[in-house]
Every structure is written in structure tokens, then in C-alpha cells.
Amino acid sequence: MNEQTLSVTGMTCPDCAGHIEKALRKLPQITEAKVMYSQGEARIASSGPLTLAQLNVALPARYRLALSASSSGNTGPDKPLKIAIIGTGGAAMAAALKAVERGAQVTVIERGVVGGTCVNIGCVPSKIMIRAAHVAHLRRHSPFDDGIGSSMPQIRRDRLLAQQQGRVEELRHAKYEGILDGNPNITLLHGDARFSDARTLTVKPSEGAEIRLPFDRCLIASGAHPALPPIPGLSDTPYWTSTEALVSETIPARLTVIGSSVVAVELAQAFARLGSKVTLLARNTLFFREDPAIGEALTAAFRDEGIEVREHTQANRVAYQDNTFVLSTASGDIHADRLLIATGRVPNTADLALNRAGIATDARGAIVIDQGMHTSVADIYAAGDCTDQPQFVYVAAAAGTRAAVNMTGGEAALDLTAMPAVVFTDPQLARVGLSEAEAQLAGIETDSRALSLDNVPRALANFDTRGFIKLVAEAGSGRLLGAQVVAGEAGEVIQTAAIAIRARLTVQDLADQLFPYLTMVEGLKLAAQTFTKDVKQLSCCAG
């Protein structure tokens, strides 16, 4: 016999309880159903286990059953569900707030600075630095130099850094520390967490005795850290990762960057625009996993700015002597004042004793989860960069929210089929959905078009036609499958394509929409029109 006590939402009068009981008793497994309107609860007995999904399908749409605090063996009617969350980044905070909203008592454990990667050492400081570098670049050079005199800007790195870190501290306090301090249902513990078993964490604070923390549900949101390539000699040098680079008090005269993806290219261009002579070493080509045109466009833009991009180049050894890095490559030695390693990130899972709880990981140490953020162990969930999901803070936050719903008895899944991604170089790179190669690998026949930006009025008005907009459609139906954009404002364009994919629009649907003239996003409409028209033969803002 299986017995459950569940909370009920949607009831407006005592008669509702009777309607719910009647609906539940139609399930053959139900042996008893009692719904209490005044308590907002349902007590159910069944001959076999029933999921919430099975129960809710049987109910009229206005009613919903969810996990009640009293349904856990460690809780009672006056004791809310106890949830432990490891980490305080985007996934952790989203989960904590949603779980509290749904009646749980939450304990979050942080071993370092509150706020995780994004606000402290990732998105926020990097985008501030990139924006400052963009302003410096425009003062030095722009398409309007004939009419607006250019000048060599004076870079005061100490003041830029103070401005950057001031905003970081402001956002960390407003969006993380202040929220945690002000919520009585969230307790913050500082220390290292590890599993004792599948129901208990041990937290070791910097001072004092270890704390034993039992939980009803647990979310692992421990983030990730920079990966280091196995280059002989590297560990004996004062190399940078993005963490050190973003808080550097000086701009090095010569900077070598090892890496070919997001962090590598963003910081390479930022330092170059702030005054460094930058050499970028790519083991393959830039963004070699993407549509080849993306890497080609960025490589051309970098070389135009004086950034040396060395494709198919690896460092065989690194040495540091006389304040100089010496990198040995097949084509000769490279000398640099600073070396930035930007070759990806590794999940923070090694110190969690996941094996004690039986939690499965992949070869990288990432926690394996499903669309509901469930791990291989019941009542333990994971979200964010410590998992096998894409490492973006907005993915982490969405996953954290859905994990909290599931931990508190609901059912939510994270669909990543229309996940947009942006690289904040100049021009920006953005993509969503499937590339041609990905679609064909999935067995989908495609029809694609690429529109160069010299066909987009906004780009012409900006006197900056670097880049393209490419749309990938399903052959026959014309349904939009993916978009790749290289443009100065690609990040502001891509969400429209994401919504179109989510809505299963065709390229003709997109071509028929109204787009405001002289916006970069109008390029999506023009790119969609190329499936049936020669846009060079259309007038401005032609419908």
C-alpha cells in the first residue's frame, strides 16, 4: 500500500474537494482519496506507486497536486521541505528563490565569494572591460574618421579597473548578498560541502567544527573553473586564466592567448584594443565547431585590427625567464609579457565526494542530468556549469528555477532546442538552433541562405558591413531550423530568430513580418526574403 499527502491548488470552495476526490477515484490504482478543502491537502492511498504526472492528468485542468511538506519522512505539517543548495551562482540563486516561493526552507553553502562566476569573474567584469575597449577603439578608429578627427586615447587601467570592480561589487550586493541576507527562509553557510551519503552533506567551515546537514532535497550548483592544457612547463609559470586577466592592474605590451573559443577571443580583442600586441594561438581554427564562415569572418576582423591569429598552432613547451614567457611552437618561439590560458572550463565536482551518494558523472567530471535536472540519485538535482548542460548563466538560472519546481513536487523541464548564444567580440557572433552540418547530421534535409551585410540598410548606414546573416530551413516545409549572425549587433538580433524557431515559423512567415526600417534585426527579414527573391532588386524597406 502506498500513501501520500499532497498539497492541492485551484480549489475555491468545499465542493472542489469532492470534484477532486471523484476524479482521483477513477484511477484504478487508487484505493482511497480524501481531500480537505480547509487544509488544502489530499491524502491518497494506492495499490502501487503513482507519479504526480499520473495524478494530475486525472484532474480537471484548474486543479493541481504538488508535493506537500508532510510528504517527506523528515518533515511534518509544521516543518517545511528542507533543501540544501551547493553554490550561490546563477543556478543556485534562482533555485533558492523559487524553492522558498513554493514553501521550502533552504540552506545554501558557499566556499568562496557569494555570487558565483558570472557576477564576480565572468560575464559582468568581462563585458565591462570589452565595452571600455570598444570605446577606446572607436576613439582611435571609426568609419567616420574623415569627418570626426580620431585620437590616441590615454588608457588609465587603474581607473578602468576601479570602475569595473565597483560595478561588480554593486551588483553582487544587490542581486546576491542583499537578497540572501533579507530572506528569512534562506540560510547561508560558508564552507566546503561534500556528501556523506545520499541524504546528508558535511560542511567544513573555514573555522570551527564540521556541520552535518541532512536534507530532503539537494541541488548541486557548484559551477566550474578554468581548464589547463597539459603543456610542459606551464605550471611553473605565472600564467593567467580569465580570472587574473580581468583584474590585471596593467595592460601588457605583449600578450599571447592560448585558445580559440569564447573567452579567448573576447579577451584577446579587448586587450588588443586597450593597447596590447596580441598573438592568439588556435589549435585548429577559431570556432572550428561552428559554421566555418563564422570563424573565417572573425579571423579576418582580428587580423584587420592587428591581432595575430596563428591557426593550427600549439605550444609544445612554456618557459618563464627574465619576466618573459617563451612559448615553443613548430614554427618558432613566441615571446610575451603575459600568457592567458583560455581553453575551456572544468566542472567543480572533484571535491564533493559524489561517489558517496552514487551520483553519476561523465568523463569530464560533469554531473549527468536529464531535462528535469534530476541526477542519477533520487532527490538530488544539479544545474549550471557543473553539469553536462551548455555553460551559459541564463541556462543555469533557467535550470535552477526548474529544478526548484521539481524538488518541491512540480514538474518542469528545460528545453534547449532554441537556445541562443552570443560572443561579445566586434563584430559579435550569435547563433541559435541548428547549423547546416548539425541538421544534416540529424538526417534533416536543409535549404540555406546567407546574406552579406552590404545588403542590410542599417549596416550600410553604419558604414560597417562586416559579417553576414545565415538562415537554415527545413527543405520542403521551409520551417526555420537555425540562424547564424556575424554583425556589430548580432546579440540584439538573435533572440528574434530564437522566438521564430520556438514558434516553428517558416522563413516565409519571417519574410512576411513587419520589421522597423534601419534596424539590424531587419536583416533577418531580408535574409528570409532571399529564399524567394533577389533582395538586391528590392527598394529600401520593401515588403
Q: What's the pLDDT tens digit per position in 126-156?
A: 999 999 999 999 999 999 999 999 999 999 9
- Is residue 207 assigned to a domain? yes
pLDDT (0 to 100) of residue 63: 81
Here the CATH number for the domain that contains residue 15 is: 3.30.70.100
Mean pLDDT of 113-129: 97
85/90 Cα distance (integer angstroms): 12
Of residues 394, 359, 395, 401, the one with CA closest to residue 380: 359
For 363, counting Cβ atoms within 10 Å of its Cβ (0-12 exposed, 13-18 middle, 19+ buried), the class is exposed
Asked if residue 64 has pLDDT above 80, the reply is no
pLDDT (0 to 100) of residue 67: 67
Same domain, 426 and 293: no
- Is residue 183 assigned to a domain? yes
Residue 232 has a CB neighbour count (10 Å cut-off) of 12
Q: What range does the domain containing 394 cover?
A: 82-115+167-226+346-407
272/268 Cα distance (integer angstroms): 6
Same domain, 220 and 90: yes
DSSP-assigned letter for residue 181: H
pLDDT (0 to 100) of residue 79: 67
Here the CATH number for the domain that contains residue 498 is: 3.30.390.30
- Is residue 149 assigned to a domain? no
Same domain, 86 and 193: yes
pLDDT in tens, 450-474: 999 999 999 999 999 999 999 999 9
Q: Is 258 left (phi over 0), alpha (psi -120 to 50) or beta?
A: beta
Same domain, 358 and 486: no
458/455 Cα distance (integer angstroms): 9
DSSP-assigned letter for residue 80: P
DSSP for 362-423, written as a single string = -TTSPBP--TT-B-SSTTEEE-STTBSS---HHHHHHHHHHHHHHHTT-------TT--EEE
pTM, 2 dp: 0.85
Same domain, 208 and 332: no
- In the predicted model, what is the mean pLDDT of the chain? 93
pLDDT in tens, 388-426: 999 999 999 999 999 999 999 999 999 999 999 999 999
For 428, counting Cβ atoms within 10 Å of its Cβ (0-12 exposed, 13-18 middle, 19+ buried), the class is buried
Same domain, 57 and 201: no
- Is residue 250 assigned to a domain? yes
Domain count across the chain: 4
Answer with the one of 343, 363, 381 that is the final residue of a domain: 343
Same domain, 523 and 494: yes
Q: Is 486 left (phi over 0), alpha (psi -120 to 50) or beta?
A: beta
Same domain, 334 and 302: yes
Same domain, 13 and 110: no
Mean pLDDT of 81-108: 96
pLDDT (0 to 100) of residue 542: 62
Answer with the one of 407, 432, 451 that is the final residue of a domain: 407
Amino acid at 55: L
Here the CATH number for the domain that contains residue 289 is: 3.50.50.60
Asked if residue 359 has pLDDT above 70, the reply is yes
- Is residue 202 assigned to a domain? yes
> Comparing 63-72, 168-177, 347-356, 516-525, which segment has the lowest mean pLDDT?
63-72
Same domain, 445 and 380: no
20 touches 13 (CB < 8 A): no
The model's confidence at residue 72, banded by pLDDT at 50, 70 and 90, is: very low
185/298 Cα distance (integer angstroms): 48
Q: Name 145's Cβ contacts closer than 8 Å, sequence gap at least 6.
A: none
Element (H, E) at 486: strand 480-487
Asked if residue 40 has pLDDT above 90, the reply is no
pLDDT (0 to 100) of residue 1: 64
404 touches 99 (CB < 8 A): yes
pLDDT (0 to 100) of residue 75: 45
pLDDT (0 to 100) of residue 47: 85
Same domain, 205 and 87: yes
Cis amide leading into 390 (omega within 30):
no
487/301 Cα distance (integer angstroms): 11
371 touches 408 (CB < 8 A): no
- Is residue 151 assigned to a domain? no
Asked if residue 26 has pLDDT above 50, the reply is yes
Asked if residue 259 has pLDDT above 80, the reply is yes
What share of residues in the chain are helix, strand, coil (percent, to 5)?
35, 25, 40
The model's confidence at residue 15, banded by pLDDT at 50, 70 and 90, is: confident
Mean pLDDT of 241-253: 98
pLDDT in tens, 184-231: 999 999 999 999 999 999 999 988 889 999 999 999 999 999 999 999
- Is residue 158 assigned to a domain? no
Of residues 349, 388, 107, 346, the one with CA closest to residue 222: 349
Answer with the one of 343, 371, 391 that is the final residue of a domain: 343
Same domain, 321 and 443: no
- Is residue 132 assigned to a domain? no
